[in-house]
Amino acid sequence: MDEEARPVGAVDEAGMDVLRAGIDAVDAEIVRLLDRRASLARGIGKFKQQRGMAVYAPARERMVLDRVTALGDGEFPKRGLEAVFREIISTSVSLETRLKVAYLGPEATFTHEAALRSFGTSIELWPQTTVAEVFARVERGEAEHGVVPVENSMEGAVTHTLDELMNSPLKVCGEVYLPVSQNLISAETSPEKVDLVLSHPMALAQAASWLRRELPGARLEEVESTAEAARRSVFQPGVAAVGSALAAEAHGLNVLARNIQEARTNTTRFIVLGRSWAARTGKDKTSVVFSVKDRPGVLKDALSAFAVQGINLTRIESRPSRKRAWTYVFFADFTGHPDEEKVGRALEALEEHCPYVSLIGAYPEVPPEVS
């Protein structure tokens, strides 16, 4: 092929060898630098152990992720940079100490995926059968942290989590948003071979329109979790599950159809539990629970404590107090950190109107991620 006929951007075999040699050289440098980083991480681990400091530092982690994604010039996607450094941080933490994280299981559920996003794959993740068990494991020191769902953009609050937060000494030290992507997964190779679809009731409801349209002859059966549905799909011919891509990967199943959920903006928010809240980063959220006195306008007066200081309330939820019939407590999230002066003033004003105020967490703010 002459030079005039050569396609723009084409690379001959010799040029390909040069490019690959360049990649090999870069890879060697990356490995050298990772070894150096691991040595520094071990030093930090010894420092933390000597002073009894927590290994997991969500504020520092968030600042590292924000800084490295800002350093890129765009050739490597920012989401990819964050994923790579999430695993680097996860491995570095594992070099410092053993870290055990309890989460609402079973494996291959959305909470499992949220835990992986929060801590990476090098941390020991420990599935629990209930939200209460996650709290109990962390409270007893059997796990250093926990991950549980707290709200869904379509279904609202996870009441079991709110009830536990009300009475637990644990604090919220992190958050993660996970778009709910439901998929048809099966050992079969095509949807036409599926005559039974299994999943958790909520997952079946989210995919109901697609299932009626694309698999009108298939029976639907509810099971306790999307992970259990995936497990059963491995062994039963003609069976598919509605679940996550992680469940398909974990059980060696085929993804026959992706994103079959009806709502495209369905996102679940998860929280990370610990024994203390996170340090201030400058872009934080704080969670508080409070009760109010029984008089007209008291909730308006209580919430004015935030408005006066120019603090944005991002969420407010009421729950029965369980201590007295027909009385309620309120859960609120707002921007800012307890170490900020204006937040301190707002909380002082809140206490003037409320017989009970408890800070249940402070953590780096993470922008919601939508599917």
Chain centroid to Cα 253, Å, comes to 24
Structure tokens at 246: 């992680």
pLDDT, tens digit, 9 for 90 and up, residues 155-192: 788 889 999 998 899 999 999 998 888 999 999 999 99
Non-local CB neighbours of 210 within 8 Å, separated by 6+ positions: 257, 260, 261, 262
pLDDT at 37: 92
What CATH code is carried by the domain that includes residue 312? 3.30.70.260
Residue type, 162: L
Q: CA-CA distances (angstroms) from residue 307 to 118, 313, 340?
A: 32, 9, 15
In a domain, 76, yes or no: no
Q: Residue 360 is part of which domain span?
A: 277-364
Beta strands in 40-170, from DSSP E residues, in sequence order:
100-104, 124-128, 145-152, 156-157
Report yes or no: 135 and 273 within 8 Å, Cβ to Cβ.
yes
Q: Are residues 104 and 172 in the same domain?
A: yes
pTM attached to this predicted model = 0.83
Q: Is residue 34 part of a domain?
A: no
- Burial string for 244-261 (b: 16+ CB within 10 Å, else e) reads bbbbbebbebeebbeebb
Q: Cα angle at 290 between 350 and 138, to 5 degrees?
A: 130
| Structure confidence at residue 190 (pLDDT) | 92
Mean pLDDT by 10 residues, the chain (371 residues): 52 84 94 93 87 85 90 87 90 84 89 91 92 97 96 85 93 92 93 93 90 94 90 92 91 93 84 95 95 81 92 91 74 95 94 91 82 39
Burial class (CB in 10 A: 0-12, 13-18, 19+), 349: middle
Locate 3 and state its tokens.
């030079």
Q: Which of 133, 163, 180 is the last residue of a domain?
A: 180
Backbone angles phi, psi at 319, to 5 degrees: -140, 145
Both 171 and 196 in one domain: the answer is no
The answer on 191 and 171 residing in a single domain is no
Task: With respect to residue 216, please indicate whether it lies within any of the assigned structural domains.
Answer: yes
Whether residue 283 is found in the same domain as residue 337: yes
CATH at residue 214: 3.40.190.10
Whether residue 250 sits in one domain with residue 189: yes
For residue 5, tell me if it sits in a domain: no
What is the tens place of the pLDDT at every residue in 37-92? 999 988 988 888 888 888 888 898 889 998 998 998 888 998 889 889 989 988 88
